[in-house]
Homo-oligomer: A and B are copies of this chain.
């Protein structure tokens, strides 16, 4: 099956048909582009047949930026369980706390959604070599999907990546470059390398595929909460996530927005964004009322996958969502 869809520039509103490698707005040069799908026809299709589809994130393929299903590179990612935390709920005096267990993915992190979609988009565009910077999980996940699809991967890892993760990346045959610095600096080194070699670079939160993959978390949660409420779909009151670059909640919000626009849910959850004290550029900047995040120069957290000191465009985007929708 194939489909057509467009993208729209968040800065100037320019819109044209989507091509896999669109990098910036042809009209204004803006780098935040959102895909635009036919929500109405998707709503009709999903009402009829969604519940009979397979249990992976690709059950939502109408709202993912791949045009031809034959290009999908999958390892069975998505449709992770939503686990009712009875004991924690009891301790906190709240009966309805649920955990979306993203460790139950092909390489044990939610980055598998991103890697599956990003690598599928690359396959569709006939790209066979790429570069990523990572605190570990992205590199592991992209390594698995690149190995499956025959794409050569260069992974730039910062000095805090634990040796077990380093080893896992190399098992897949990825070219590994360890940068003796912070994650933010590692990203800069990867950018220069990709430019020098003229290789495709994964743009993280500015990548349509990366953000769109996270939408599937919202779709699954709404279906799973729905079942627990005896309905087809239902939105939770709150969505809570610990963030580094912020891609998770940015994408998840968009997923709930799509469902709301399709008339499947009657509200968009409030967002709560968690950071560790040692690396909390978003939380600190929000509390100070800043419109642009203050960069944390030396992240100091034992949770190395949360060590983005400079959240870039994610902060104003998320700040806006929290101010508009509550959180």
**Contact residues of A with B, CB < 8 Å?**
51-52, 54-56, 74-76, 79-83, 87, 101, 103-106, 108, 148, 150, 164, 227
Contact = CB atoms under 8 A, between A and B. Distances in A.
Given A76-B83, A80-B76, A106-B101, A51 B54 contact: no
A84 to B, nearest CB: 9
21 contacts: A54-B227, A55-B55, A55-B79, A56-B81, A74-B81, A75-B81, A75-B83, A75-B101, A76-B81, A76-B83, A76-B101, A79-B79, A81-B106, A87-B148, A101-B106, A103-B106, A103-B108, A104-B104, A104-B105, A108-B108, A164-B164
Which among A56, A106, A164, A227 has the greatest number of chain B C-beta atoms within 10 A? A106
Contacts of A76: 80-83, 101, 104
A103 B108 CA distance: 9
B54 A52 contact: no
A79 B105 CA distance: 12
A164 B148 CA distance: 27
Contacts of A81: 56, 74-76, 106
A87 B172 CA distance: 14
Contacts of A82: 76
A106 B104 contact: yes
A164 B82 CA distance: 26
Nearest to A105: B104
Contacts of A87: 148, 150
A6 to B, nearest CB: 32
A46 to B, nearest CB: 15
A87 B227 CA distance: 38
A106 to B, nearest CB: 6
A172 to B, nearest CB: 12
A82 B55 CA distance: 11
A104 B108 CA distance: 7
The 6 closest A-B pairs by CB, nearest first: A76-B81, A55-B55, A104-B104, A76-B83, A55-B79, A76-B101
A109 to B, nearest CB: 12
Contacts of A74: 81, 83
Given A104-B105, A164-B164, 8 more contacts: A51-B52, A55-B79, A56-B81, A75-B83, A76-B82, A79-B79, A87-B150, A104-B104
A101 B148 CA distance: 14
A56 B84 CA distance: 14
A30 to B, nearest CB: 38
A72 to B, nearest CB: 12
A57 to B, nearest CB: 11
Contacts of A103: 106, 108
Contacts of A56: 81
Contacts of A54: 227
